[in-house]
Structures are given as C-alpha cells and as structure tokens.
Amino acid sequence: MAVTISQIVQAMQPSATMAMAAKAKERKAAGKTVYDFSLGEPDFNTPEHICQAATRAMQEGHTHYTAASGIAELKAAVAKQYQQRHGLEYAPQQVVISNGAKHALNNVFTVLCDPADEVIIPAPYWVSYAEQVKLARGVPVIVDTEQSNDFRLTPEALRAAITPKTKILLLCSPSNPTGTMYSPDDLAALADVSIEHDLVVVADEIYEPLTYGNAKFASFATVRPGLEERTIIINGVSKAYAMTGWRIGWSLAPPHVAKAIASLQSQQTSNPSSISQYAALAAIEGPQDCVEQMRAEFARRRDFVAQRIEALPEITCPNMSGAFYAFMNISAYLGRRFNGTKVETSTDWCLTLLEQEGVATVMGSAFGAEGYARLSFATSLEVLEAGFDAIERFLKSATPA
C-alpha cells in the first residue's frame, strides 16, 4: 500500500509569509543583498531580565512536565493582567497556556468546530486563520472589507454573511496584515450583531500593546456586558516582549471551553516548554518599560514608513494604528512590466521586487486581498530607508505591458 497524504492536508496552503522569508534567506545565502520586510517578528532581543528568569528556572530544576494547561503562577498572572488592564475578571482556570498564540487559535477552532460549522473571517486576514479553520473541519467564510473604511468589518456586512450554520466570528485588532484597529464603538456594533445571532467571538489580541497616535485599544469582551461568556481571547508574549521563539501564547475562555482546550492540549502536545513559561511569567510580572521602548521605536518606524509610502506614486495604504505592518495598495502597477518582466498579480509583483531589488514583502493574495502587498516594519530605520529606496527604483522601472 502506498503512503498517501490526507485530503485535508493536501488541500492546505503553506504559509506565504514563511515561504517569502525562506526565499529571502536563500537570496542572502547566495551573497545577495536583501531587505527583508516579510516576517511579523520584532527585531529586538528578548529583554535581559526575561532571559535571566529562564536561566534561573533551569537552575532551580523547572525542566520537567507541567500541567497541560500551564503552570499555575503564569495562568494567575495572565488573569491578573487582564483584570488590571481591562477590568475583565477571569479565574486562572479559564486560562490555557499554549505553544504560541497560533497553537492557542488552533486549539480553539478544534474545540469549537464541528463539520460544516461556519467561521466568519474579515479579509484581509492573517494567512493561517482560514487554513486552521479548515483543518478543524470548519468552513471559513471570507467577508471582504474596504480600504476606504480601513478594512474594518461593518455590522451590515457581518449580518449579511450570517447563515444558520454560522458559529464563530473571528476578529484581529490591531490587525495583521493591515495595521488598522477597531474602535470601541466599532466593536460594540459588531458585538450587538453577535449577541443577536448568538455567535461565539474569537478575539486575536496579540498586538494589543503596539498602538500609535491617538488609537486606543479595546478588548472585545469589554464593550458590552456579559460578552466574556461568548468571547475567547487570544494573546501571548511573542510580539509585546520580542519572544517569538519562546512559543508562549494563551487563551482566556468560558470555563467549559477552557476545560475542553486543556483536555485537547493534554492529548496533542502536553504542556508548553516549562522554561519558556517561567520566562513569560517574568515578562508579565516584571518591569514593562521594555514594552514601551519597543512600542516607541515601532512608532518612529511607522511614521517613517507612512511618509515614504505617501511619496510613492500610485501607492496607497490604510492608516497604520497598530501592529507593525503596512498594507500597500499596488493595484495600479499590476499589468505593467518591470525591466521587461510582466507583472499580473500581487505574487508576481512581490517575487519580481525580490528578484530585481532584493526587497522581500508578502503578496496580498495570501491575506485574501489581491492587489496589495504587506510590508513589515519590524526592522531598523536604516534597513527601511534602503529598502524604500529600492522600492522607488523598482516602481520607476515600470512600463506599460
């Protein structure tokens, strides 16, 4: 009997962000210059006091299995953090620590989705959302949004997408890939529709501390009374504390959902790394000035990127209120030639830009938005300046097809 791959995995699309990052690394390995704006990963080192906490954990013997849902101290710290920041009351038993926010999301969809259950996902969306829903046997329902509205889902569009099979609404604010945010009033309007139609809301809040200007973050469960009963919050330490490689994220959920997630995780992965959990505990309970320092630097980069994009001919971008992404509208350049190479799609545009100028971005089609390209500004101002100079050269080379 031949070894065959399951149909559901055969149908799965690989991560476009990882694929573009791999192409950038191949180019670097060949000795070529690369301005890598592909991955959503802070370029800062993990703060020293967090690293020291990991070392202490190893020295003190915290190198064994923990409870599948995480160590009690970290779960309590997460619950306390949400109470202090947002006034939300969660018991530690409602927190499940996972191997990153991506794993936490996968847990949620696996626990909640039965075959044919529909999950509404506003587009543009993070590349893994739809694939994770499919792997959980659910059905992703993609709802397009408009750049003119900063890619925010409206209550009217949400209501129009709901069917008898709709179970979940998935929201990400601040957004990957657009860098935009929902205001408290925006969230309240969506909450009203969710309550009316008895939807579960999965709120991906991983970029919570990274906001700019006058933008104010609001946790979804705070905008209407009782929303915590139908909301599952996803968060973690990857973005705020520059801890992507430590792989610690979590979910906050109603008690019966948290219990199911913990049970699932006990069978799938057991516990997250014990050492990483103690590092995450130090991140949450320790000094927070490191978070503000990173946020302030991202804000400077965001302002620089906004100015450079504004100066690019025929390129537009929504207001970047949070996270560290610019979602550039490149549609005016599709159908043109760049140094003889014809570009028809956002994939063509990104691959040609990488090949000709060494700038790595991610095609908008991967996020459900053809005609766009995502640029991460989680890199130094020097690299951003050189990269935008290269983008300017690339655009100037465009000629009619």
Name which of 218, 284, 221 is nearest 71 in CA terms.
Answer: 284
Kindly list the averaged pLDDT for each block of 10 residues, start to end, along the chain of length 401.
88 79 84 90 96 98 98 98 97 98 98 97 96 97 97 98 98 97 98 98 98 95 97 98 98 98 97 98 98 98 98 96 98 97 96 95 96 97 98 97 80
The length of the chain is 401
Are the C-beta atoms of residues 248 and 280 closer than 8 Å to each other? yes
Task: Yes or no: say if 63 and 274 are a contact pair by the CB < 8 Å rule.
Answer: yes
Question: pLDDT (tens digit, 9 = 90+) per residue, 183-229?
Answer: 999 999 999 999 999 999 999 999 999 999 999 999 999 999 999 99
Burial class, 227, CB count within 10 angstroms (exposed 0-12 / middle 13-18 / buried 19+): buried
Which CATH class, in words, describes the domain spanning 64-285? alpha beta
For 28-138, strand residue ranges (E) read: 35-36, 95-98, 118-123
Helix, strand, coil abundance in the chain, percent, nearest 5: 45, 15, 35
Q: Which residue has the tokens 């013997």?
A: 61
Sorted by where each begins, the domain ranges of the chain are 7-45+290-400, 64-285
Output the pLDDT for position 27: 85
Q: Exposure of 51 by Cβ count < 10 A (0-12 exposed, 13-18 middle, 19+ buried)?
A: middle
Return phi, psi of residue 201, to 5°. Answer: -115, 125
Question: 7-45+290-400: CATH homologous superfamily?
Answer: Aspartate Aminotransferase, domain 1 (3.90.1150.10)
Residue 158 DSSP symbol: H
In DSSP notation, 201-225 reads EEEE-TTTT-B-TT-----GGGSST
Query: Comparing C-alpha atoms, which of 203, 209, 218, 193 is closest to residue 253?
Result: 203
